[in-house]
Amino acid sequence: MSDLARLGEARPGEAGLGDKGFGGMGFGDMGFGETIATRLTELAAVSDEAGRLTRLYLGPAHRKAADLVASWMREAGMSARIDAVGNVVGRYRARDSGPLTLMLGSHIDTVRNAGRFDGALGVVIAIEVVKAAFKSGKRFPFAIEVVAFGDEEGVRFASTLGGARALAGTFDLKALDEVGEDGVSRRQALVAFGCDPSRLSEEALSPDRVIGYVEAHIEQGPVLEKDDLPVGVVSAIDGITRGIVEVDGVAGHAGTVPMPMRSDALAAAAEMLIAIENRARSRPNLVATAGKIDVPGGTANTIPGLVRFTLDIRSPSDAERLKAVSDISETIAAIARSRGVTARFSVGHEVPAAHCDDGLSDQLAQAAETCGVTPRRLPSGAGHDAMAFDRIIPFAMLFVRCRGGVSHNPAEFASPGDIDVAACALSTFLDRIA
């Protein structure tokens, strides 16, 4: 409840549209920010766990949230349905019976003990922007579909982005047999949710009928806050290389083996970690993380003989990432040689970068400028539903500043003032492309 109180709190530099002189647009007066913040609070109360927000894909809270979101869509002048993969799809019909559709949205599933903005923000902004058009009797020369995706966080099943992939036509039907921790398969969970998994392939969109997909989302990082900007336009979603480095040394007695005679796997790994960090720091948008390190069988009085650590390398440029992977592999080998150990980086998982469409992104940036903000372009280090549409339909993303860059945490926060700017930008974007 203290979070609820915090939502209304203004911080220095977080002024609403009116305070920044955008009153002439009328959006400040329409109170997008406060309305959206209130709805996010309402949605955050729909949880699988008492006292904290956990809304797993196809769980009971997801079902309730889907109904709530569908009711908001209908109130905003849309027809609403739950599709075969559990997405809530709201449709605001076009002015004429033209064939084109613009998709907006984000996701309503969450991690465990989540914040209220990740995903939900993009869904609620889209609904409110359509509602404003509906209330003023405005139609566009294209239909708008607002999609509340259901499987973005990948908490319940092994694969993820099932909702967006079904629309993209790239859903792998084998994923229906994935079984979660509770012993329930994806197929069973879909049926329990009220979906018909046998109709899943019918949800695939026709790329020639879709203008594109535009998603607003909290940044989940600290860059916009550092630059004192309420919104930013995403350039690309980072590609990822993930794997495991295994360092083999020689275990020995901590007291009896003199320092020059050791092959200490952990000390070698430590040198590798610093070298990896330095390599990532040498380029602006390259990041590398060793998030987990194990010393199997390690004890206080044993020289470590074996170390394994995970490695996650990301960049919006695939060439840059692959070069970094190659350099890091060479560095690991060189450090291993110099220390008398052996080491190997085994790549387990690779995803190419997904590039936002220049045309849609420029329109989004110009729309934000109309709302009084010159947004910066920035890559997304986190994955999003939008990446499922890479090379299928054009897509663009608008990031909203979040306090301290904190996400996947109940302390996650975006101010009503910043949300107002994002809603203004999205609404102006619709007018521009119309």
Q: Residues in contact with Zn ion, total (CB under 5 A)?
A: 2
Which residues have a Cβ under 8 Å from the Cβ of 279 and sit 6 or more positions away? 286, 288, 324, 327, 328, 331
> Which C-beta is closer to Zn ion: that of 342 or that of 409?
409
> Which C-beta is closer to Zn ion: that of 118 or that of 420?
118
> Which C-beta is closer to Zn ion: that of 31 or that of 119?
119
> Smallest distance from the beta carbon of 114 to Zn ion, in angstroms?
9
Angle at 40 between CA 236 and CA 29, to 5 degrees: 90
> Smallest distance from the beta carbon of 217 to Zn ion, in angstroms?
6
> Which C-beta is closer to Zn ion: that of 119 or that of 379?
119
Q: What is the rounded distance in angstroms from the CA atom of residue 172 to the CA atom of residue 179?
A: 15
Single residue of 109, 118, 128, 219 touching Zn ion by CB under 5 A: 118
> Which C-beta is closer to Zn ion: that of 119 or that of 230?
119
Q: What is the rounded distance in angstroms from the CA atom of residue 325 to the CA atom of residue 308?
A: 17
> Smallest distance from the beta carbon of 174 to Zn ion, in angstroms?
25
Which residues have a Cβ under 8 Å from the Cβ of 237 and sit 6 or more positions away? 316, 353, 354, 356, 379, 380, 382, 383, 384, 386, 387, 390, 397
**Segment lying near Zn ion (by CB under 5 A), choices 30-38, 61-69, 94-102, 114-122:** 114-122
**Segment lying near Zn ion (by CB under 5 A), choices 12-20, 115-123, 254-262, 302-310:** 115-123
Q: What is the rounded distance in angstroms from the CA atom of residue 424 to the CA atom of residue 427?
A: 5
> Which C-beta is closer to Zn ion: that of 123 or that of 247?
123
> Which C-beta is closer to Zn ion: that of 106 or that of 428?
106
**Segment lying near Zn ion (by CB under 5 A), choices 113-121, 273-281, 293-301, 361-369:** 113-121
> Smallest distance from the beta carbon of 52 to Zn ion, in angstroms?
17
Single residue of 28, 119, 232, 416 touching Zn ion by CB under 5 A: 119
* CA 131 from centroid of its chain's CA atoms: 25
Beta-carbon count within 10 A of 351 CB: 17
Q: What is the DSSP string of 131-193?
A: HHHHHTT---SSEEEEEEES-SS--SSSS--HHHHHHHT---GGGGG-B-TTS-BHHHHHHHH
Q: Are 396 and 361 within 8 A, CB to CB?
A: yes
**Segment lying near Zn ion (by CB under 5 A), choices 117-125, 163-171, 275-283, 364-372:** 117-125
Q: Is 162 in the site for Zn ion (CB under 5 A)?
A: no
> Smallest distance from the beta carbon of 116 to Zn ion, in angstroms?
12
Residue 238: name the closest of 286, 168, 280 by CA: 286
Residues that bind Zn ion (CB under 5 A): 118-119
